[in-house]
Structure 1
Amino acid sequence: MLPPTRQIRFCASRDGTRIAYETCGNGPPLVWVAHFVHHLNFDWDSPVWRPWISALAKRHTLIRYDFRGTGLSDRSGVEFTFEKLVEDFEAVVGASGVRNFSLVAMSGGARVVLPFVVSNPDRVDRLVLYGTSPTGPLTAKAPPERVENMRVQLKAFEMGWPQDIPGFGTFLTSLHIPDASAEQARSFNELLRLTTSAENGVALLRTLVESDMQDLLPDLSCPTLVFHSRQSAVLPFDDGRKVAALVPDARFVPLESRNHIVLDTEPAWKQFVRELDEFLPTHSARAEPFDELTARERDVLELLAQGISNADISVQLKISAKTVRNHVSTVLGKLGANSRAHAVAVARDAGFGRRVQTRSSQV
């Protein structure tokens, strides 16, 4: 059964591409940029991704999205550049209505978030980099043999994806989760087919593996935790070590696993979840003032955060204009806000006002 708080929405990136994103759970906001083989609508049935969602959303409001060209995001006529992937991430963060948040970013997606994190050091509270590398394996800095290996993989993806060749799914799955059970492997194979087309999949992967964010890593200033599987066949263990060494004061956690995507059926999973729980904040610094609000005051604050005027709040809640003014005054006092704008900013940081950002669908 799906959590009642799960919602899928759409936002527009700078070039107009519609990006699907999902929120679920309750608590401080946590944005997750996942591996490219995932789908907002099918991850919940995946024995590979469902444990990840549960672990990340159990104490947080989890925000995640489908890359352009994949999942529920626009698939037709989309352009793939690294800059556009960064803009997609920024669009999701903006549409979600959160100002301060923690961030978990995986594999090539970890490089996508770095420009934002470096440019907005006051907005990311904690950063988790999982199974990534300073540069993609198809850059000038990569060893020649690694570049050639990546080119062969991309060619295999291009040839195997559209014809639905059974060996293709097996190849990709064994590369990412060699110790998967039969159910986990079957699910990952099927998710690959559902996630995107051959054309989009290859274009997205090529964009990710050609990205180079090594020069940004030393500029990170937020607390950072780096995970990497010791025997990952996707990205060598030394890649994770280099990432952690380049980020000031980062903590490095090696995972005793052969799986690039750690599974909940292996011992490394417990270590991963324990370290994650200890690192990520479990409550907002602004949580207590909100606990003091009555149900009606929370309704008023929700509408304030959506940018709705007192007159319209009066109509929507069917209360007098004077009562609205009294509620607004009380809310400002309880939040310690010195103005309406201040209260709105504080409320949006805590997750209020998201419904106005985009059209949404309950799932």
Structure 2
Amino acid sequence: MTFAFDTFLIDKDTRELRNNNQSVRIEPKVFNVLVHLLENREKVVSKDELISVVWDGRFISDAAVSSSVSAARKALGDNGSDQRFIRTVHGHGFRFVYPDVVLSTAQPVDRLAGQGTTTSQEVRFCQSADGAQIAYATAGSGQPLVKAANWLSHLEFDWESPVWSHYFSSLVRGRRLIRYDARGNGLSDWNVNDHSFERQMEDLEAVVGALELEKFSIIGISQGCMRGVAYAAKYPERVNKLILLGGYARGWQLREDDPEGMVFRQAAHDMIKHWWGKDNQAIRQLFTNMYMPDAPAESQSWFTDLQRKTTSSENAAEMLVAGASEDIRPLLSKVKAPTLVIHARGDVAAPYDQGRELAAGIKGARFATLDTTNHLMPESDPAWQRCTELISEFLAE
């Protein structure tokens, strides 16, 4: 069982506390106090209850309990004055009060084919060429389908969220789905200095090598399309089919035909370093409004919160500019795999002409238009059903 809140992840099974994907040292009893408060966050937990559960009812002083609670606060960067996470209710006990806690008992994508079955994922790590640890996950069985990493991902949180879970439940059906977190994201190393396109490609190559994949298909979504194209162009003998959803061949600094997008991303880059990790959601909400403007409130709320949980402000800013000046148009003609390009007509994050440019540059590529404004489609979007049907039929051919 895991609890995710703010920038923290607590794994009850491995007894680990992580902050921004970095391990936080915590004493066993303090860990137990924190977990019990999380599990009972709907109520105030008395000192007597903590003594009964954490110390098996042995006699200890109230001061010892208070000391353990203070240590739990310290592990979370909290204190007795701010009480962002653990609040003292004088005369009654303590309560975990942070409002947004994501609970996971497994890693389910449990709507597989609408059959009530549960598909679990397995997360492992491999090492990229420069030593960065890259987290990757596999789920399902059948022909392998590799999802090239996009800006902002978290193997565990994405697996459960209404932003991404319907994508994965569709893609894993009858296949072996392989995902990974790009460097600086999710469960992969956050402490990296080089986010360049070359390093990102090495991360993809490391995952393929760790799994000893010989022949597979690739799906790229948004920024992942550039990585998918680059890999298919470099290793044409390995790629069965290529799917590009909401992608582009030119980074945002090279899109003279999209001046509004250039201004937005430059301004966002300047603001991210100062506002990304704060409780104020303004800057993250800007990206939500761009990526899924017509999604339900639940999906928008998840995406806004996922942004902060996925990476640090420094990495978010660096990754935003890492591919900004990349131009893969010279690689399009080198793609030999059958290719399906899908793009939303009203996409603001990646304008429609960017998708047309991708399809026109790849010999024989099919192009399909979705009637939506959502760059990331919620399951409730009427265009989502057509999108998943296009992908399934293409891969089944």
Q: The TM-score by the shorter chain falls in which range?
A: 0.7 to 0.9
Q: How does 1:257-336 map to 2 (within 5 A)?
A: 257-281=372-396
Q: Which of 273, 278, 302 is the matching residue for 1:158? A: 273
Per the alignment, residue 181 of structure 1 pairs with 296
CA contact (8 A) 2:268 2:283 kept: no
TM-score (ref. length: structure 2): 0.68
Q: Which of 230, 238, 241 is the matching residue for 1:126? A: 241
* Residues 225-264 of structure 1: CA deviation (Å, up to 9, x unaligned): 0011110110111111111111100000111111001221
Q: Give the whole-Å Cα distance in 2 for the aligned partners of 1:197 and 1:20.
A: 17
Q: Give the whole-Å Cα distance in 1 for the aligned partners of 2:258 and 2:375.
A: 20
Per the alignment, residue 225 of structure 1 pairs with 340
Per the alignment, residue 73 of structure 1 pairs with 188
Aligned residues: 282
Runs of 4+ in structure 1 off by over 6 angstroms are none
Q: Percent identity?
A: 37
Per the alignment, residue 169 of structure 2 pairs with 54
CA contact (8 A) 1:48 1:188 kept: yes
Q: Give the whole-Å Cα distance in 1 for the aligned partners of 2:241 and 2:192.
A: 35
Q: Give the whole-Å Cα distance in 2 for the aligned partners of 1:140 and 1:178.
A: 22
Q: Give the whole-Å Cα distance in 2 for the aligned partners of 1:66 and 1:238.
A: 28
Could you say which structure has the higher strand fraction?
2
Q: Which runs of 5+ in 2 are unaligned?
A: 1-105, 109-117
**Amino acid aligned to 2:330:** D
* Residues 114-172 of structure 1: CA deviation (Å, up to 9, x unaligned): 33211211110000011111111113866655433331122232332033322122211
Q: Does 1:87 align with 2:202?
A: yes
* Residues 285-313 of structure 1: CA deviation (Å, up to 9, x unaligned): xxxxxxxxxxxxxxxxxxxxxxxxxxxxx
Per the alignment, residue 78 of structure 2 pairs with none
CA contact (8 A) 1:170 1:189 kept: yes
Larger gyration radius, structure 1 or structure 2 = 2
CA contact (8 A) 1:106 1:129 kept: yes
Please report how far the alpha carbon of residue 180 of structure 1 lies from its aligned counterpart in structure 2 after TM superposition.
1.3
Corresponding residue SS for 1:76? coil
Answer with 60-69 or 38-47: which moved more.
38-47
User: Cα distance 1:143–1:184, how it changes in 2: closer, same or farther (>3 A)?
Assistant: closer
User: Cα distance 1:145–1:5, how it changes in 2: closer, same or farther (>3 A)?
Assistant: closer
Per the alignment, residue 116 of structure 1 pairs with 231
Per the alignment, residue 245 of structure 1 pairs with 360
* Backbone CA RMSD of aligned residues: 1.7
**Amino acid aligned to 2:156:** N
Could you say which structure has the higher helix fraction?
1
**Amino acid aligned to 2:227:** V
Q: Does 1:212 align with 2:327?
A: yes
Q: Give the whole-Å Cα distance in 2 for the aligned partners of 1:132 and 1:107.
A: 4
Per the alignment, residue 32 of structure 1 pairs with 147
